[in-house]
Amino acid sequence: MNSQIVKLFGLIVVLFAVLVGFTSYWSVFDAEALKEKTANKRPLLEQQRIERGRILADDGTVIARSVRKGRGDNLRYLRRYPEGSLFGHPVGYSFVREGDSEFEQFHNDELVGNESEFVSLLDELRGQTQEGNDVVTNLDPEAQRVALGALEAVGFGAVVAIEPSTGRVRVLASNPPYDPNRVPFELTELNQNELESPLLNRATQGQYPPGSTFKVVTAAAGLDTGAITLESTIDAPSTIDVQGQPLANADGASYGPIPLEPALTGSVNTWFAQLGEKIGADPLFDYMDRFGFGSTPAIDLPDDQVYRSGVFEGRDLLGRGDPVDVARIAIGQERLAVTPLQMAEVAAAVANGGTLMKPQIWSRVVDPDGRVTERLDPSRYSQAMEEETAAALTDAMEGVVSEGTGTNAAIPGVPVAGKTGTAETPFNDSCVGGGDNQAWFIGFAPADDPEIAIAATVECTDSFGGELAAPIFREVAETLIDDE
Amino acid sequence: MRSARNRELIALVPVALLLSAGFAAVFAQEQAEVGDLSLVYGAYFLAVCLAAHVYLRLRLPNADPYLFPLAALLTAFGLVMVYRIDADLARDQANWFVLGLVLFALAIHFLRDYEVLERYRYTIAIAGLLLLLAPRLPGIGQQVNGAYLGVKLGPLAFQPAEFSKICIVIFLASYLREHREMLIVGARRVLGVTLPPLKHLGPLLVVWGAAMFMLVFIRDLGSSLMFFAAFLALLYVATARFSFVAIGMAMFLAGAWFFASTVPHVHDRVQIWLDPYRDPSNTGYQVLQSIFAQADGGLFGVGFGQALIEIPGTNDPLLPAAHTDTIYSLIVNEVGLFGACAVILAYLLFAARGFKIALLADDGFSKLLATGLTAVFAIQAFVIIGGVTRVIPLTGVTLPFVSYGGSSIVANFVLLALLLLVSDRARREATAAARTGPLAPEPA
């Protein structure tokens, strides 16, 4: 019987080896995938036991912090947002049951202090519990408050302000706001509120027709490709015929042959439509790509919460080779849909001599001992245009504010460059009771040494960009320039 | 063989130290300070183990020196884990441990001539079957999670299957010792397959019937699998006919497949095993949380006392039945893959020592008894660890010596007593044979 006993033991060894194999599979090899499963609440519950780091504004204002509840096995931390609805966008929220969003979600690893298993083990041996890091943002509470207040006075919309030379995001406001402290109690209501969609970050998820602000992109492409120079003129009658449909100037005036500067100052549609045709659809798409159209902006927010901008056919982006009406794209019509963040990047690229920096909300990570462990290293997204092109365009955009459609954006003693836009949105069903216009202003100041580039937009209004969005630009720009 | 007992004594010291260290770690986690209480617990534990050791020194001086320390190690580990879940449960468990040792001593005292068991083998077999049936009896039976595993007599609740497994192994060892020749000699080859003689097929069919019966009436796939696997192991060792095992396995699988599609509880268990994500917050909750707990542990674990068992701020379980069925998942969670491997290694060493006893024993009953007890013990560990790691469907079997549960602890110490009884005789005879000189001339 002995040889059978030995074989039986061999079988037991094999069976136990299978157990070791399965245990290693679950605990090590498949562990990461298991932690991603929605049925697995452990990662969130574990995180709740870690004191999540704070999120701070540029001036040290606390935007989000954690408060301790219970003790022992019941110890957990809950998230509090002392500034309430001011930073609901773009900071988002983080709760165990409701999950997380926006900045809280993107910077989760830093906030909970996630490290490699090896480092965690060393910490454990040294008796240290995992602690979260603070993340300091570039956000300016005063300017954010001004932007949100200005929007609340006139309607739903968004304001994005970026420091052109670094890509630092100073303001990212979306109206209507929501208070993240209320999320545990009324997430369902917030989600179902289709009339206001308060959880939609209009700055990064609002997809609006850009109207005449897009002429900045067309002008950049025209100058940079050599299709025009500052001196070349295009004859701009009151109406031209494009693809069998008349395309008219907003004021109905006929301008005759004029160069870029008066065409931009007067936002002459027939002039830019012809420029668009002169450039051609494919080169125009090339320049749009350089500005970041067609891609998810490289901002530090979750990809699914930042939408792309471009020419859309339903949900699909059109590009080179697709049948499009380039004349109407050139004046910001056709099926163009853009986010306020994208238009702020357009202004920032012109302001920064044609170099577009990646927009970033975070500034630095500070560990629990107060040491800065990571610092934002501003990086280039693209060279959207030549420096000379940017300089020429800046001159033309200054004319818009000094004597054109954007005079409401003028700041006494500070040169301002900008462009207004008013897109008609007669088919926008979400504009209940409001007007049919999408009012825009994009620009930067001071024009000779830009500190801030801003896009402001208001949806569903009867007013024009110059009347409604330009003053918001001015208020926010004044706040930010005074700060410096 | 004094040195065997000395080895046992030396092996007990690290066990007591491990227990102290484990308690210290749990205290440190809970109170942020390490008192001397952990040392007190360690000292109590060591004292109880020493008492058992002295008893073994007197009664079974030649018995295997490693089995008792291994059992003590697993018990100590279980005590720390249970304490970490609930201090009250751990106190119960400690009492059960002491009671287990008392029964351990009584078994050694009364069964010194364990051949006496052979004489009562049918009585024992019937007792074993009655124990299995008890949970279905009205008034005392208890249904837990759809399976009938518990019995409640007044204040005393226990799981009779734990004791039943010992009875059935004793019966099978005795029965197979007597009939193994017949089974081998009378075997016929039919169509290239060696079949047992029809005359002796009857009792084997009875065992198969009993396993199927358990599946249907007790509705427990785990116990049924454990019993039948132990039976097949014994049958193989007794007859050396692998074909018998294959036939038995085929019959079990056919029966299990049939009942899995007809008995709802068994069917559910199999469905959950195949697709736990179908209803992750309800039927699949336990096995999924068990796996998630292991994923949380990683290589080194999160440390004693640090794993989540309940959802903080509520009383809802995050790891259901953490003190019994899923205690292995908690072990992986807290001490990681390495710790879990150590536990599996402890079971493997226990099995190795058990089979070593069977190899040394020189009469058929002793061999089969040691083999059967070791096999049923190892298979029980496999069934529950396999259940929580999704190797097989999860069923409610305890992890021997580690899980919370009086019946389990007490029954397994009785099992250990029987193994040591067999071992003591086998090693005494081996030593005696060595001392009087070889009976056959040794090769030079």
pLDDT of residue B442: 47
Burial (CB count within 10 angstroms: exposed 0-12, middle 13-18, buried 19+), residue B97: buried
Q: Which helix (H) or strand (E) holds A136?
A: strand A134-137
Indicate the range of A111-115, A217-221, A435-439 predicted with least confidence.
A111-115
CA distance to A254, A264, A400, A401, A426, per residue, from A404 (Å): 16, 8, 4, 6, 26
Q: Of the ranges A460-464, A475-479, B153-157, B229-233, which is most confident?
A: A475-479
Is it true that the peptide bond before A198 is cis, omega within 30 degrees of 0?
no
Contact A22 B348 (CB under 8 A): no
Name A422's bridge partners.
Answer: A439
Picking from B13, B15, B6, the residue whose alpha carbon sits closest to that of residue B72 is B15
* Average pLDDT of span B233-238: 91
Look at residue B32 in the predicted model and tell me its pLDDT: 54
Task: With CA atoms as reference, report the closest residue to A39 among B438, B347, B293, B306.
Answer: B293
CA dist., res. B148 & res. A346, Å (int): 72
* CA-closest candidate to residue A273, choices A339, A347, A222: A222
Spatial contact of B305 and B32, defined as CB atoms under 8 Å apart: no
Q: Identify the band that residue B444 occupies on the pLDDT scale cut at 50, 70 and 90.
A: very low
Q: What length is written for chain B?
A: 444
φ, ψ dihedrals at A99, nearest 5°: 85, -160
CB B195 within 8 A of CB B247: yes
Q: How many residues does chain A have?
A: 484
Predicted TM-score (pTM) of this structure: 0.67
Residue A117 is predicted with a pLDDT of 57
pLDDT of residue A122: 63
Lowest mean pLDDT among A104-118, A154-168, B75-89, B234-248: A104-118
Condensed to tens digits (0 to 9), the pLDDT of residues B68-125 reads: 999 999 999 999 899 888 888 888 899 999 999 999 999 999 998 898 899 998 899 8
Kindly give the residue spans of alpha helices, DSSP state H, lying in A226-268: 260-265
pLDDT at residue A150 in the model: 96
**From the CA of B360, how many Å to the nearest CA of chain A?**
9
pLDDT at B375: 96
Whether the predicted pLDDT of B440 surpasses 60: no
**Which pLDDT belongs to residue A210?**
94
Which position has the token pair 């068994």?
A: B266
Nearest to A431 by CA among A160, A197, A150: A197
Whether residue A278 is predicted with pLDDT greater than 90 in this model: the reply is yes
Judged by average pLDDT, the poorest of A346-355, B45-54, B386-395, B434-443 is: B434-443
**How far is Cα of residue B334 from the mean position of the Cα atoms in its chain?**
23
Provide the token pair at A91: 């900071």
Region label for B387, one of left (φ > 0), alpha (ψ between -120 and 50) or beta (otherwise): alpha
Which contiguous run of DSSP H or E holds residue A438? strand A437-445
DSSP state of A28: I
Q: What is the pLDDT of residue B244?
A: 82
Query: Chain B residue closest to A74 (CA)?
Result: B312
**With an 8 Å Cβ cutoff, are B341 and A20 in contact?**
yes
Q: What pLDDT band is residue A125 in, cutting at 50, 70 and 90?
A: low
Mean pLDDT value of segment A83-92? 95
pLDDT at site B148: 67
| Separation CA B288–CA B118 (nearest Å) | 45
- Give residue B220's pLDDT: 76
The encoded tokens of residue A45 equal: 């519950």
Higher pLDDT, B39 or B414: B414
Predicted-complex ipTM score: 0.92
**How many angstroms from the chain centroid is the CA of residue B263?**
26
Query: What would the pLDDT profile of B166-184 be if each residue is shown by its tens digit?
Result: 999 999 999 889 888 887 7
Cβ–Cβ of B308/A34 closer than 8 Å? no
Burial class of residue B17 in the structure, from the number of CB atoms within 10 Å of its CB (0-12 exposed, 13-18 middle, 19+ buried):
middle
Report yes or no: A119 at the B interface, CB cutoff 8 Å: no
Tokens 């599609």, located at residue: B261
Q: Residues of A with CB below 8 A from B318's CB?
A: 41-42, 45
pLDDT band for A118, please (50, 70, 90 cuts). low
**Average pLDDT over all residues of chain B:** 85
Q: B348: which chain A residues are within 8 Å (Cβ-Cβ)?
A: 12-13, 16
Selected for mutation to probe chain A from B236, B245, B279 (highest A CB count within 10 Å) is B236
- In this prediction, residues A85-114 reach a mean pLDDT of 90
Mean pLDDT estimate for chain A? 91
The residue type of A124 is E
How many CA atoms does the CB half-sphere of B66 hold within 13 Å? Answer: 12
- Mean pLDDT in residue range B131-157: 71
- Give the 3-state secondary structure of chain B: CHHHHHHHHHHHHHHHHHHHHHHHHHHHHHHCCCCCHHHHHHHHHHHHHHHHHHHHHHHCCCCCCCHHHHHHHHHHHHHHHHHHHCHHHHHHHHHHHHHHHHHHHHHHHHCCCCCHHHHCHHHHHHHHHHHHHHHHCCCCEEEECCEEEEEEECCEEECHHHHHHHHHHHHHHHHHHHHHHHHHHCCEEECCEEECCHHHHHHHHHHHHHHHHHHHHHCCHHHHHHHHHHHHHHHHHHHCCHHHHHHHHHHHHHHHHHHHCCCHHHHHHHHHHHCHHHCCCCCCHHHHHHHHHHHHHCCCCCCCCCCCCECCCCCCECCCCCCCCCHHHHHHHHHHHHHHHHHHHHHHHHHHHHHHHHHHCCCHHHHHHHHHHHHHHHHHHHHHHHHHCCCCCCCCCCCCCCCCCHHHHHHHHHHHHHHHHHHHHHHHHHHHHHHHCCCCCCCC
Kindly give, in sequence order, each residue whose CB lies less than 8 Å from that of residue B394, ignoring residues fewer than 6 positions away.
B269, B272, B273, B286, B287, B290, B325, B387, B388
pLDDT at A39: 83
Nearest chain A Cα distance for residue B389, angstroms: 6
How close does chain A come to B237, measured CA to CA in Å? 5
Give mean pLDDT, residues A43-54: 82
Return d(Cα A63, Cα A70) in angstroms, integer.
23
**To the nearest 5 percent, what fractions of chain A are helix, strand and coil?**
40, 25, 35
Read off the tokens for A76: 């957990």
Could you give the CA distance from residue A343 to residue A455 in angstroms, rounded to a whole number? 6
pLDDT of B40: 79
d(CA B288, CA A408): 62
Share of chain B above pLDDT 90, in %: 38
Nearest to A356 by CA among A295, A312, A415, A310: A295
Q: How confident is the model at residue B2 (pLDDT cuts 50, 70, 90)?
A: low
pLDDT at residue A124, as a whole number:
58
- What pLDDT does B161 receive? 83
A199 DSSP 8-state letter: T
pLDDT confidence bin for A294, thresholds 50/70/90: very high
Q: Do B332 and A70 touch (CB under 8 A)?
A: no
Rg, Å, chain B Cα set: 22
Buried/exposed code over B335-354 (b: 16+ C-beta within 10 A; e: otherwise): bbbebbbebbebbbebbbbb
Chain B residues with beta carbon closer than 8 angstroms to that of A9: 351-352, 355
Residue A203 three-state SS: helix
The percentage of residues in chain A with a pLDDT greater than 90, rounded to a whole number, is 73
User: Please, which residues have CB within 8 angstroms of residue B130's CB and are 6 or more apart in sequence?
Assistant: none
In this structure, of A196-205, A216-225, B315-324, the range with the lowest mean pLDDT score is B315-324
Task: Please choose, from the candidates A87, A338, A41, the residue with its C-alpha nearest in 3D space to the C-alpha of residue B317.
Answer: A41
Tokens of A49: 């036991």
Tens of pLDDT, residue by residue over B307-359, are: 888 887 777 888 888 888 899 999 999 999 999 999 999 999 999 999 999 99
Adjacent-strand bridge partners of A174: A158
Query: What per-residue confidence (pLDDT) applies to B303?
Result: 83
CB interface of A with B, residues 27-56, below 8 Å = 27-28, 30-31, 34-35, 37-42, 45-46, 48-49
Q: Which chain A residue is nearest to residue B366, measuring alpha carbons?
A: A1
Say which of B30, B280, B308 has its CB closest to residue A42.
B308
Q: Is the peptide bond before A368 cis (omega within 30 degrees of 0)?
A: no
Nearest to B118 by CA among B174, B165, B168: B174
Q: Give the model's confidence band at A116: pLDDT under 50 very low, under 70 low, under 90 confident, else very high.
A: low
For residue A482, CA distances in Å to A169, A339, A407, A478, B17 come to 17, 27, 20, 6, 69
Please tell me which of the candidates B280, B308, B386 has its beta carbon nearest to residue A45: B308
Mean pLDDT of B235-249: 87
Q: Write phi, then psi, for B342 (nearest 5 degrees).
A: -65, -40
Q: Which two tokens stand for residue B210?
A: 């009993």
> What CA dihedral angle connects B293, B294, B299 and B301, to 10 degrees?
40
Which residue, among A469, A430, A420, has the nearest Cα to A214 in the 3D structure?
A420
Rounded to an integer, the average pLDDT of A331-339 is: 92
Q: Give me A1's structure tokens.
A: 């019987």
Confidence of residue B193 (pLDDT cuts 50, 70, 90): low
Where is pLDDT greater, at B139 or A406?
A406
Report pLDDT digits (tens) over A393-421: 999 999 999 998 999 999 999 999 999 99
